Structure 1
């Protein structure tokens, strides 16, 4: 984790240095401030949309996992936008803009489902997934070789 943070800091300094070399010190400061202002406006707008969508979905009785995940991603994007730097602004925009947020949502939900299944397997034994719900696998009766179990339908008549 420390290596990732160090790489992030180096990337931020490199980006600020490159932009500063191209547009100057005042231009760089202006771009950083403009990014924060536009990003905070976008985070507020997208956060409101996510909240309204969550409320409407929850009131209709449907599962609001998509809307809840969107709200979380908008919050992460808003925090990243408020951190000074161009790399964090690009990452924040990735989470704030609806088309790219949909990609991040799919990745996040897929990862969460895999982790839920792994957690259930570790703590409750083997499970199977039925319509995105984790269902514990039913234990099968032990088979006795002296009394074989014949599976099939019994037809009376």
Structure 2
């Protein structure tokens, strides 16, 4: 009987999030649905009709994206002018560009070839839908920030620090031994301050 090195034990792999598990399946199902709908419409109305619908969706989507980009640029320039002028009404430009994100997303979905993406893109162009989705996204973002405790940056900084094997933090300080290197540089006088302040 031979005795060898013990088999190393590895920590358990973290569970995959539901989004990472189901997103590829959702994209594949969406692509299959789009292709199936295009073939159904092509068999019912003809290939030329499907081609014209796809071209019209692309042209409408590009016009919507162009309009949203112009609105966003106009709101940005107004905000910059108000900040340079010191005007108190800095929130006026933000109100005009409130739905630009969903307007841009709707235009991009219209530009994608497919009927389902066109329908979703058209729904995103409706202002009440944009406002409702904006409020939902804002609430979700604020909830995630509260769940994280606002300490995400502090946690990242803590992880970046050097730890000894017993878990104690080692305060970093670099001391060069110039006297032994023979480089001819004069050693600095006195101790150096620590790197973290």
Superimposed CA distance per residue, residues 74-99 of structure 1 (whole angstroms, 9 cap, x where no aligned partner): 33223222211111112222333323
SS in 2 for 1:61: coil
| RMSD, aligned α-carbons | 2.9
Give the corresponding residue for 2:144: 115
Give the corresponding residue for 2:124: 95
Residues 37-52 of structure 1: pairs in structure 2 closer than 5 A: 37-52=59-74
C-alpha distance 43-98 of structure 1, shift in aligned 2 (>3 A): farther
List alignment gaps of at least 5 residues for structure 2.
1-22, 83-88, 154-197
Bigger relative contact order (CA 8 A; separation at least 6): 1
Of Structure 1 and Structure 2, which has the larger fraction of its residues in helix?
Answer: 1
C-alpha distance 49-99 of structure 1, shift in aligned 2 (>3 A): farther
Residue of 22, 31, 47 corresponding to 1:9: 31
Residue 37 of structure 1, CA deviation:
0.7
Q: Find the aligned partners of 1:18 and 1:72 in 2 and give their Cα distance.
A: 32
Residue 6 of structure 1, CA deviation:
1.0
C-alpha distance 107-88 of structure 1, shift in aligned 2 (>3 A): same
Whether 1:20 and 2:49 are equivalent positions in the alignment is no
TM-score by length of 2: 0.52
Larger radius of gyration: 2
Aligned residues: 125
Q: Find the aligned partners of 1:121 and 1:46 in 2 and give their Cα distance.
A: 32
SS in 1 for 2:39: helix
